[in-house]
Chains A and B, each alone.
Chain A
Amino acid sequence: MELGKIFNSSLIYATFRSATPIIYAALCAAITQQADILNIGTEGIMLIGAFMAVAVSYLTGSWLLGVLVAMVSGLVIAMVMAVGNIKFKSDICAIGMGINMFALAITKFLLNAWLGQSGTFMSPDIKSIPKVHIPGLSSIPIIGNIFNDWYITEWFVIVLIVVLWFVFYKTVWGLRLRAVGRMPMAAQTAGINVNAMKYQAIAISGLVGGLAGAHLSLGYSTMFVENMTSSRGFMGVAAMYFGGAHPVFTAIGCLVFGFTDSIGARLQAYGVPSQLVLMMPYVVTIAVLAISMATKMSAEKKRKSSLVSH
């Protein structure tokens, strides 16, 4: 086993590439988490987005339309969750899991009944999201390798991280959102419409979740497979916990998972059983989550005790 073949400059892009869908999912979960809503339905929103993106791109030949429809369908599904949770008082975990099951079933059904396929849907007519090719960059040895030919959505995720960071921590809307998450009663007393804020947060989260799915099925790969999200939504939720719903730290958490994923893919060439490789991101996610929550807890304890002693 040569370490040079596993750890080389292309690993950087490979890590980012497999982390991107999870970053989108994690951002989707982070937005609602700022308003103290645990978005377990991320997985389902993403799956529906992935299906609609492929279906529309296949039928119209336009990737942009596919991405837009995916975002809108993510919004619709998220609003079902919002109405169920806010208006009809359903448990957020319960309705989130309901959304996930619905997404799994409806995409399977539409794949059968609408597109006449089952299992996997691949076609040359599916137009994928274009890559950004910068001509001058490819002549520079290492940097050209790493930064050239990214998908548009891969560049966009970086923009989105920065925008969300700005919105959460530097705007009035973000402050209100976090106020609703911290203490809804106080927020209401301060004149903030709590439910409206929650609806807005879930709506934006739905748009991002739909985009996450579109990137997965039109960028990361160019096909639709039943249950193709394979728990990426939940990994995103885990990463969101890791980063405490802060967009930048959340994204860093996702990169850890992307890193294990791409290391695993390389190890497979050396005869490590594929199941163990596929298992690794999940195990790492749980371990990282446990460690980060444990450190957070002890930091909290420390803060509390220093308050008492002063």
Chain B
Amino acid sequence: MNKKKKIDFKSVANVLLPLVLALLVGTVIILCMGENPITAYIALIEGAFKGKLKLGTTLASFTPLLLTTTAFIIAAKAGAFNVGVEGEVFLGGIVAAYIGINWTFLPKPLLLIACFVGAILVAALWAFIPAALRVYYNVSEVCSTILMNSVALYITNYLVSGPMSAGAANAQSDPVTVTLPQIMKPSSLNIGIFIAIIVTLLTIYILNKTSLGMKIRMVGTNPANAEFAGINPKHTFIKAMMISGAIGGIAGAIEILGVHGYFLNNFATGLGTNGMLAALIVKNNIVTAPAIAFFIAVLKSGAMGMQQATSVPKSLVDTITAVFIIFACMELIGNIRKSKKKSDEKKA
């Protein structure tokens, strides 16, 4: 019991210390710009929480982040570094939009389900490609998924400005005929947030309580050992990647059906990256990752308020989060402890 507590302290400190360091860096930059950092940070918090609209917007941007974080983590548990979640969100979105616009012969509830199923299928198949390339041909999934993100972006870009275009000045599709009900007007928060929470809980359950989750974790920690125990590491890796893709697809469908109501060009830019960021900060701990995802959502939606209230551009917030993640990937605490122990030993 005591041991467990110690580990928890360490992992909490390993998140908090980088956060403090990152905020310090931010403070120094703001001071250099001749602004008051406290005013800026207060403006940031107010921009994220003050009023129904702002709180709703924060929660609405938390929804896809929660899903992309979960998607990244389940792939990471099988040992994959799936940067391709963003591409999966884009493809999930375009499929949901296509079905939502064109399959009007279906009754509304069925149509809604069809949108989600289509998004899940296409996104999972998209994730199958880098997974198969990895296990059968040893192609680094980091490289292939990053490049495939660009491909996915250009595919949707082409569709929305060509065959699926609504003819407006902005590249966007016709409105979909079925939407997810919005619950906190005037913000775009919709019942998608409950779907996201359910999916996350389900993923936690799958990872920790089912045999598939057990296999995924085993393959992720030691594929050779997993194979020895009778698990096919290749199939398990592909399954984990496809689940990851499916979750990304759900995020895309929620964004299109719940937030926008039509397919908007470049709607998912940064969603996958930020999800990955949240996952990396807590080293793929699926239970604490949602908290970080929420924190990032707060930063993102508060950044606009900060830019309006002070002269600090919102790109500073991205810089602070990037510094946060760079420090968070390092094992700062463990290292300091170790070196302390070493010096103690030397003294003795």
Residues of A whose CB lies within 8 Å of any CB of B are: 38, 40, 80, 84, 87-91, 93-95, 97-99, 101-102, 104-106, 108-109, 112-113, 230-231, 234-235, 237-238, 241, 273, 275-276, 278-279, 282-283, 285-286, 289-290, 293-294, 296-297
Contacts and interface: CB of A to CB of B under 8 A. Distances in A.
Interface in B1-47: 29, 33
Nearest to A105: B318
A231 B147 contact: yes
B315 interface: yes
A235 B140 CA distance: 12
Max count, chain A CB within 10 A of own CB: residue among B136, B142, B147: B147
A99 B322 CA distance: 7
A289 B144 contact: yes
B89 to A, nearest CB: 17
B326 A109 contact: no
Nearest to A283: B151
Main secondary structure of the interface of A (DSSP, over half): helix
Given A108-B315, A109-B315, A283-B151, A95 B326 contact: yes
A144 B274 CA distance: 49
Given A84-B329, A95-B329, A98-B326, A279 B150 contact: yes
A93 B151 CA distance: 21
B325 A101 contact: yes
Max count, chain B CB within 10 A of own CB: residue among A97, A108, A276: A97
7 contacts: A89-B335, A101-B277, A112-B313, A231-B150, A237-B143, A286-B151, A290-B137
Contacts of A87: 335
B322 A106 contact: yes
B147 A282 contact: yes
Interface residues on B, range: 35 or more
Interface of B: 29, 33, 81, 83, 133, 136-140, 142-144, 146-148, 150-151, 154-155, 157-158, 161-162, 273, 276-277, 280, 313, 315-316, 318-319, 321-323, 325-326, 329-332, 334-335
B140 A101 contact: no
B72 to A, nearest CB: 11
A235 to B, nearest CB: 7
B154 A113 contact: no
Max count, chain B CB within 10 A of own CB: residue among A93, A230, A231: A93
A273 B136 CA distance: 33
A112 B139 CA distance: 38
B335 A294 contact: no
Main secondary structure of the interface of B (DSSP, over half): helix
A282 B150 contact: yes
A261 to B, nearest CB: 13
B154 A109 contact: no
Nearest to B132: A290
A282 B329 contact: no
Contact of A273 (B151, B158, B331): B158
Contacts of B140: 38, 237, 241
Contacts of B143: 234, 237-238, 241, 289
A101 B321 contact: yes
Contacts of A112: 313, 315
A286 B81 contact: no
Contacts of B162: 273, 275
A12 to B, nearest CB: 25
Given A97-B83, A105-B318, A241-B140, A84 B326 contact: yes
Given A289-B143, A293-B137, 13 more contacts: A91-B329, A93-B81, A97-B83, A101-B321, A108-B318, A109-B315, A112-B313, A113-B316, A275-B154, A282-B147, A282-B148, A286-B139, A293-B138
A297 B155 contact: no
A286 B148 contact: yes
Contacts of A278: 154
B316 A109 contact: yes
Contacts of A104: 318, 322
Given A97-B276, A112-B315, A294-B137, A238 B329 contact: no
Contact of B323 (A102, A237, A276): A102
